């Protein structure tokens, strides 16, 4: 076949194909399919354009402070707390009333440690989110008295937990430094050496808190994997975590091997999620921003290389910028006790000094 014949044949086939495509695209079902495909393709861009967050003009920076965690690092927890008040100049705290420390013996409660923390906060006009319950911040997540664990009757256990919530609020509500109550921490999230809070019990704890005090209640859910709405509807505010680099053994699914993951989540995704769920951004607190490493052993047992896998110095500053760009006004950093340990025991003041600059900034 000559070149001229091949050319004519190609042109004829091309015209035939074009005519078939023209007929195909005139079909309603094809038009509908193409329209749906186009909408699906551009929908995320539309969402981003209209819902993308703007950095807040002023951000309330805070920290979660745990006397248990400070002590586990070998720090004097009282001295550490004062340094966070006076050196870091923190004025927004999330404090924790640990049930196992407060009521080691049934019926004998001692709130001295948390009273001291609230008194020192009050002297400096610091504001406190007061966390109560049995599943509260810091590993292993649940902090129940031994006597409570030994109770076999489910109804009795439930009532004792609610009684503790009531007694804690009754004892502490006189402190003006408390601006809201947090009842439980990620109650249904399967993390830690801990059974999740019974889904029927958690609302009763919230109701007990609201009956005893008029201050708002904040509930906590996982920022990355939580549903948000069920918790927000029970309380007045929603607290969320914001993590970037984590270590998992995937609950044993990879034979306990170290698996490090960086969440593929943009900082604007949190606000868009809130908008889609109908939760006002001013009702959301980032109560747990990852500013310490996460690994398979205590931080004071990790090498620098192990810590850098999830939070290097560069990660620390990058995470701060990430959170600042999320659009939320209230951001509480996680790991202040470790910053101090790094400074005092590891001769590394980078994290403490950087946080000091942050808490003393005007942003």
H/E element holding 338? Answer: helix 336-345
Neighbours of 9 (CB within 10 A): 11
**Ramachandran quadrant class, 228 (left: phi over 0; alpha: psi -120 to 50; beta: rest):** left
pLDDT, one tens digit per residue, over 111-165 is 999 999 999 999 999 999 999 999 999 999 999 999 999 999 999 999 999 999 9
Highest mean pLDDT among 175-184, 194-203, 248-257, 268-277 belongs to 175-184
Average confidence (pLDDT) over 218-244 = 96
> Parallel, antiparallel, or unpaired: how do β-strands 330-334 and 60-64 relate?
parallel
Closest CA to 146 of 183, 190, 116, 104: 104
Q: Is the pLDDT of residue 252 over 90?
A: no
Percentage of the chain lying above the pLDDT 70 cut? 82
Average confidence (pLDDT) over 164-174 = 98
Burial 116-145 (b: 16+ CB within 10 A, else e): ebbebbeeeebbbbbbbbbbbbbeebbbbb
**DSSP symbol at 201:** T
Average confidence (pLDDT) over 49-56 = 68
- CA 349/CA 334 separation, integer angstroms: 17
- CA 215/CA 104 separation, integer angstroms: 28
- CA 332/CA 290 separation, integer angstroms: 9
Mean of pLDDT over the chain: 89
**DSSP symbol at 72:** H
pLDDT at residue 31, as a whole number:
56
pLDDT, one tens digit per residue, over 283-310 is 999 999 999 999 888 999 999 999 999 9
Contact 334, 64 (CB under 8 A): yes
Tokens at 214, concatenated: 């008029």
Tokens at 316, concatenated: 């620390």
Place of tokens 């606000």: 271
What is the DSSP code string of 127-182?
A: EEEEEESSB-SSTT-B---HHHHT---HHHHHHHHHHHHHHHHHHHTT-TTEEEEE
pLDDT at residue 289, as a whole number:
98
Closest CA to 224 of 192, 270, 188: 270
pLDDT, one tens digit per residue, over 60-110 is 999 999 999 999 999 999 999 999 999 999 999 999 999 999 999 999 999
> CA angle, 267 as apex, 298 and 272 as ends, to 5°?
130
What pTM was computed for the model? Answer: 0.86
> CA angle, 338 as apex, 216 and 100 as ends, to 5°?
55
- CA 246/CA 58 separation, integer angstroms: 29
Q: Which residue has the higher pLDDT, 21 or 229?
A: 229
Q: Which residue has the higher pLDDT, 3 or 231?
A: 231
Q: Which residue has the higher pLDDT, 319 or 196?
A: 319
H/E element holding 188? Answer: none
pLDDT at residue 14, as a whole number:
60
pLDDT at residue 191, as a whole number:
82
> Parallel, antiparallel, or unpaired: how do β-strands 217-221 and 178-183 relate?
parallel
pLDDT, one tens digit per residue, over 11-51 is 665 666 556 555 655 656 545 665 556 555 555 555 555 56
Place of tokens 């004829």: 12
pLDDT, one tens digit per residue, over 334-348 is 999 999 999 999 999
Backbone angles phi, psi at 308, to 5 degrees: -65, -20
| Beta pairing partners, 64 | 94
Q: Which residue has the higher pLDDT, 292 or 55?
A: 292
- The answer to whether the bond into 197 is cis (omega within 30° of 0) is no
| 74-83, 209-218, 258-267: range with lowest mean pLDDT | 258-267
**DSSP symbol at 41:** H
Tokens at 92, concatenated: 């927004």
Tokens at 141, concatenated: 């997540």
């Amino acid at each position: 076949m000559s070149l001229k014949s091949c050319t004519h044949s190609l042109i004829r086939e091309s015209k035939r194909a074009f005519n078939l495509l023209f007929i195909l695209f005139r079909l309603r079902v094809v038009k509908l399919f193409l329209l749906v495909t186009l909408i699906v393709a551009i929908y995320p861009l539309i969402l981003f354009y209209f819902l993308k967050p703007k950095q807040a003009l002023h951000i309330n920076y805070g920290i979660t402070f745990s006397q248990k965690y400070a002590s586990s690092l070998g720090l004097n927890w009282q001295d550490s707390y004062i340094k966070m008040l006076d050196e870091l100049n923190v004025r927004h705290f999330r404090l924790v009333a640990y049930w196992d420390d407060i009521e080691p013996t049934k019926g004998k409660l001692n709130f001295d440690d948390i009273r001291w923390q609230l008194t020192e906060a009050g002297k400096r006009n610091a504001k406190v989110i007061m966390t109560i319950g049995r599943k509260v911040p810091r590993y292993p997540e649940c902090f129940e008295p031994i006597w409570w664990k030994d109770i076999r009757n489910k109804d009795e256990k439930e009532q004792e937990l609610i009684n503790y919530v009531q007694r804690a609020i009754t004892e502490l509500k006189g402190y003006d430094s408390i601006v809201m109550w947090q009842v439980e921490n990620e109650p249904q999230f399967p993390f830690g050496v801990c059974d999740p809070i019974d889904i029927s019990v958690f609302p009763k704890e919230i109701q007990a808190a609201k009956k005893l005090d008029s201050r708002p209640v904040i509930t906590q859910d996982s920022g990355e994997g939580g549903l948000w709405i069920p918790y927000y509807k029970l309380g007045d505010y929603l607290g969320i975590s914001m993590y970037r680099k984590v270590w998992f053994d995937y609950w044993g699914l990879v034979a306990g091997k170290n698996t490090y993951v960086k969440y593929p989540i943009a900082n604007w995704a949190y606000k868009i999620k809130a908008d889609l769920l109908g939760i006002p951004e001013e009702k959301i607190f980032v109560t747990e921003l990852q500013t310490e490493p996460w690994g398979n052993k205590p931080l004071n047992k990790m090498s620098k290389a192990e810590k850098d896998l999830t939070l290097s110095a560069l990660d620390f500053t990058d995470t701060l910028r990430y959170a600042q760009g999320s659009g939320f006004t209230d951001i509480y950093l996680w790991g202040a006790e470790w910053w101090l340990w790094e400074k005092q025991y590891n001769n590394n003041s980078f994290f403490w000094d950087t946080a000091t600059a942050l808490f003393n900034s005007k942003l």
